[in-house]
Amino acid sequence: MTDYGANGIGFMDGEYMEMKDLRIPVTDMGFQLADMCYDAVHIKDGKFFRLDDHLDRFAEMIDKRRFTTLGFDRDAIAAVSHGCVARIGLKDAFLMLIATRGVPASAKKDLRTCQNRLIAWATPYHAIVTDEEMEKGCDLIIAETIRIPLSSVDPTVKNFGRLDFVGALFEAYDKGADYAVLLDSEGCVTEGRGWNIFALRQGVLLTPDSGVLEGITRKTVIELSGALNVEARLARITAQELKTADEVFLSSTAGGIMPVKSIDDTNIGDGGPGPVTLRLQDLYWKLHDNPDFNTPVNYEAAQA
């Protein structure tokens, strides 16, 4: 079976390497406890999109996770980001930045004795939905599995502790869908594996106000909605409100703005991407050419 990242270039423990050589010890608490955080950035036409926002968010996550022994500051992480993308040498790429707790010094597994680890890799650009779903829309279910409460795990720190998403996805597969959105314990919409969600109702664009990752694409959509004269609002959204919305779409660095065509077998709008979704998609990709939002990749970093 081909690994989707087989052609990637990685970085770990101070070295660049081929993706196949990127291996963490099974004793790393990032594996054993999902004690890690990550960010994902995309590169289009040789330029990172909103790199500063991603680096700021990643630095905040590292602080929140108390990864004090990482040994890479924001500038060093930026250099590794350029280093990975330059080495893969592609104009359209995807970059993962991961910090793990690392391996504890003794069997007591005192987390304060770990040497935190920075891992990064660049792969060819990919979306999390297929080309057909991007064009026609995705089928979504509202899962019975509840999102891990934010009082247990802070969802603003992107992490791989995702068994709630796994349970929800198998609910979706069992119902013939490929995507699941999770509710919180009060029955309000949160997010899914790898994306935030938006609902257009009565001309207002709504997205969950809490219990979610504060996505960079979500932020971009909110900023762009002004250009369309569409009000965007952070809100509590019930399952019923989501299902009866005029338009629904997902937002993620891995795909941008991705239309939803049905929820729990009920068509959204006409059962295809709605006009506001399509206009936002267009503005989103055009924004990538704006120098205020992009950073050219230093391809010469491959020589360093």
Residue 98, burial from CB neighbour count under 10 angstroms (0-12, 13-18, 19+) = buried
**Site membership for ligand PLP, residue 96 (CB under 6 A):** no
Q: In a 3-state reduction of DSSP, which class is residue 220?
A: helix
Cβ nearer to ligand PLP, comparing 116 with 251: 251
- Smallest CA-to-CA distance from 144 within 182, 195, 196 is with 182
Q: Which of 147, 158, 261, 288 binds ligand PLP (CB under 6 A)?
A: 158
Instruction: Please name the residues in contact with 44: beta carbons below 8 A apart, sequence gap of 6 or more.
Output: 91, 92, 125, 285, 288, 294
Neighbours of 285 (CB within 10 A): 13
Question: Does residue 196 belong to the site contacting ligand PLP (CB under 6 A)?
Answer: yes
Which of positions 110-129 make contact with ligand PLP (CB under 6 A)?
Answer: none
Residue 59 burial class via C-beta count within 10 angstroms: exposed 0-12, middle 13-18, buried 19 and up: middle
CA R_g for the chain: 19
94, 195, 198, 249: which one contacts ligand PLP (CB under 6 A)?
195
Please identify, using beta-carbon distances, which residue of 104 and 208 lies nearer to ligand PLP: 208
The strand pairing partners of 49, in sequence order, are: 294
Q: Which of residues 168 and 216 has its CB atom nearest to ligand PLP in the complex?
A: 216
Q: Which is nearer to ligand PLP, 104 or 256 (CB)?
A: 256
Give the nearest residue (CB) to ligand PLP. 215
Check residue 216 for interaction with ligand PLP (CB under 6 A): yes
The 226-255 contact track toward ligand PLP, x by CB under 6 A, reads -------------------------xxx--
Least CB distance to ligand PLP at residue 287 (A): 13
Smaller CB distance to ligand PLP: residue 103 or 158?
158
**Mask of contacts with ligand PLP, 12-51, x by CB under 6 A?**
----------------------------x-----------
> Which of 114, 213 has the CB closer to ligand PLP?
213
Which lies closer to ligand PLP via its Cβ, residue 101 or residue 158?
158
Strand order through the sheet with 93-100: 15-18, 9-12, 117-124, 93-100, 36-44, 47-49, 294-296
Asked if residues 280 and 248 have their Cβ atoms less than 8 Å apart, the reply is: no
> Element (H or E) spanning 22, and its range?
none
In whole angstroms, how close is the CB of 40 to ligand PLP at the nearest point?
A: 6
C-beta of residue 189 within 8 angstroms of C-beta of residue 197: yes
Can residue 207 be called a binding residue for ligand PLP (CB under 6 A)? no
Comparing CA positions, the residue from 243, 9, 262, 277 lying closest to residue 120 is 9
**Residues 35, 133, 139, 191: which binds ligand PLP (CB under 6 A)?**
191
Residues in the site for ligand PLP, rule: CB under 6 A? 40, 158, 191, 194-196, 213, 215-218, 251-253
